[in-house]
Structure 1
């Protein structure tokens, strides 16, 4: 799904792009039971809600950012993010080069109070510092802990642990937001039998959505000075008013004489909205742009009832069509790409079968039946011997025979 940013009159440069990506498919020993509520149903739900929120902002030219937003739902996640790799390679080179950075969402539905940002580039990288500081500032206001994990990728090894590594292989800055602190092994944490709805907390997803949405809009360090803005020391922030318009709130000298063109250029540069200052939330609770828990719950319930093992999904699978329709409702343009899954796995087309279980009598019943039958046979045998040969013959059967003494000369 694609949301187009707003170009300033006379600007001939291509707008930069931010990508928000999540893998939607699962893997498990029982494909028909692999619903993956947390991995990665929670990431899909978060992406859809973020798309809904920014579609509201981008629907008004006055609140449309100078960033294109690209929302990607990919398959092949359990298999080295094969779908993400093919999706990126299908991009036009200009589009790929326009991506400033990508945020991948993975398993954010069962965390307590700490999330991790996984990156491939060194933490000293300017883009990585910008992303982490932006998330950290918002996380502090939301009382959330955010940690940074750096894992260098091996280009010669086709195995990737995180979705952002496919971006990094093509020299696109990217990071993965996840509740998982360590890189998973192959086919680990891919939405198996035990990843069900009861272990996912929609409140955690709601907080994660707000963290990502606010961070995308608020990635300017506090107190950064505006060059050539006139008699002004700094821009304190942008905030969402009741009329859903972004205003500039300044501190310091009066507003008279400001060079508004330079001010606007400053606050938009390299960010969607780029407001400064704490306690300024675009997606504040109770407002028209607040995160919708009911929307999150409804999609989470659907994902928790829908197996999504990619090799068994058809091109026109109802679930895939539902995702496409939802993105089409919140973005300007939606494209679907079908690819053949490549890998070392062989999949068979039987995803479900009937297992018949029969309940039989317990072993106590068998022992009791053995005792009854044994007693019956003993009584019957004794009766027949007594009636045919007499009681003495029956008793003699149980007597010890007399010993024979051998006489020696």
Structure 2
């Protein structure tokens, strides 16, 4: 009988225990639901690098703070807050004041417009309400500030979408109502669970080159005069994972590939092959003082360098009504004058003005502003054809965040390709002063707008910051393959960037946005669960062992006296 009663009591205790566990799980589930992630979005970390041993960029990567909608929200502890700002609302002056006064932020999340993600409006699309004409300039100014400062907190970029817009709206409403998110009040919490950024062990670059060999005479084909068409293909920006550089220098890369395609058709037939070798070079390290171009030139033997008649570098030719030819030698130089006259004459026929810009190079200063200056240092006649009026400053206008697909107009790029092609044909075929159009529209040698668009689209969705590409990057393989279709003896040159730059990894991550409860709510839940478990304990003891046993469990046992010997 006692065994049966004990068994029933045990069964009853098991049932009650199961009920208690289910109830407790319901409470915990409700609590977890309140803390579930409101959104998970892709974010792009700001560049972190050292230049000549000096740190620049964002020096931290981990994010785990509450959200705020501004730098001046009353009651908000900015040192423990991630400030969310649409990029067009950023006050660079205020950010700089915070930095200079050593005021800390928990972090900064900059929201990019939706049209940045898809590259913006297409070449034929008119301006809309969503397109702010001043926005690229404002973003470029902010980007330069970010790149050239040592920022001691994490900075991330994200594209605007419905989820993040909804979160930002809620945060703005709470801040406006005087309820900023804190540990005591709750709100939205932003978490990027990454480890601290580590140094990129060896920042490398890759140069790509291909040849179209000219009509061989009695001598060696390598002894023919050579014209080099050159474009730097890599980029740099405040967020490496967003630096696609559609105009700078995607437009130059597309122009070079189309020129290789056009002249390969002429060089395929000995009757239309010119007595000039054409060298096509796609160089890396452009943002880093054209480091790759310098190494590429040093890799040539003396004979190749001596046979280069001139080099024409293509840079940012996709977004300007007129063109500029930047040179290091005086415009009166007969070689420079010949190059300029050929380009200007062809451009004049299509209503484009070409202005010559002369800037001497300072041999004692290792800094170069244009790619052709690396050729000039080797005493090679060279020029840069560009839509830019002035030389970019250090790490400026090299394919940053604002340089999106809309920055390169398909029609403008195709027009400028034709200008270069016709002027080059005048030189190598001796057509100066003759009204002959080699690449006439509608002919088999016409510039291909679909080809131009295809490559602009590809480059405009492919970040190309050299230290994060690697030797086997798909975009490098794609360019090499395309160049090999139209030219001969295509080769790659791999090398490491010089030691003046040091880069850090973690350029892309995922941001989890949680809607968390206040500490008061946490305490309430803790007390409720604790009280529930206490009452449950009392009920279980009373129902299974009786009230006397419960009282006995808390009664102090009598002390035992030791008997003396």
TM-score by length of 1: 0.73
Please list the CA deviations of residues 264-309 of structure 1 after superposition, one character each: whole Å capped at 9, or x if unmatched.
xxxxxxx311214454210010000000000000000000010000
Q: Which residue of 1 aligns with 2:400?
A: 192
Question: Which stretches in structure 1 are left out of the alignment for 5+ residues?
Answer: 219-270, 362-409
| 1:307 partnered with 2:515 | no
Q: Which residue of 2 aligns with 1:341?
A: 497
Q: Which residue of 1 aligns with 2:226?
A: 17
Secondary structure in 1 aligned to 2:489?
coil
Q: Which residue of 1 aligns with 2:198?
A: none
| 1:119 partnered with 2:275 | no
Question: Which stretches in structure 2 are left out of the alignment for 5+ residues?
Answer: 1-209, 518-565
| 1:161 partnered with 2:317 | no
Please list the CA deviations of residues 72-125 of structure 1 after superposition, one character each: whole Å capped at 9, or x if unmatched.
00000001000000000010100000001000000011112x100000001111
Please list the CA deviations of residues 184-229 of structure 1 after superposition, one character each: whole Å capped at 9, or x if unmatched.
10000011111000222010100110010000011xxxxxxxxxxx
CA distance in 2, matches of 1:126, 1:106: 23
| Contact 2:484/2:490, CA 8 A, preserved across alignment | yes
Match of 1:45 among 235, 254, 258: 254
| 1:92 partnered with 2:301 | yes
CA distance in 1, matches of 2:315, 2:436: 27
Aligned length: 308
Q: 1:167 to 1:307 in 2, by over 3 A?
A: same
Q: 1:296 to 1:67 in 2, by over 3 A?
A: same
Q: Which residue of 2 aligns with 1:102?
A: 311
| 1:131 partnered with 2:287 | no
Q: Which residue of 2 aligns with 1:321?
A: 477
* Runs of 4+ more than 3 Å apart: 9-13, 276-279, 356-361
| Contact 1:141/1:278, CA 8 A, preserved across alignment | no
| Contact 1:79/1:343, CA 8 A, preserved across alignment | no
Q: Using the TM superposition, give the Cα deviation of residue 355 of structure 1 relative to its aligned residue in structure 2, in angstroms.
A: 2.7
| Contact 2:323/2:388, CA 8 A, preserved across alignment | yes
Q: Comparing both structures, which one devotes a greater share of its residues to helix? A: 2
Q: Which residue of 1 aligns with 2:283?
A: 74
* Two-structure CA RMSD over aligned residues (Å): 1.6
Mean CA deviation greater in 311-320 or 160-169? 311-320
Q: Comparing both structures, which one devotes a greater share of its residues to strand? A: 2
Q: Using the TM superposition, give the Cα deviation of residue 358 of structure 1 relative to its aligned residue in structure 2, in angstroms.
A: 5.4
CA distance in 2, matches of 1:9, 1:345: 48
CA distance in 1, matches of 2:226, 2:251: 24
Matches within 5 A, 1:155-304: 155-218=363-426, 271-304=427-460
TM-score by length of 2: 0.53
Mean CA deviation greater in 274-283 or 99-108? 274-283
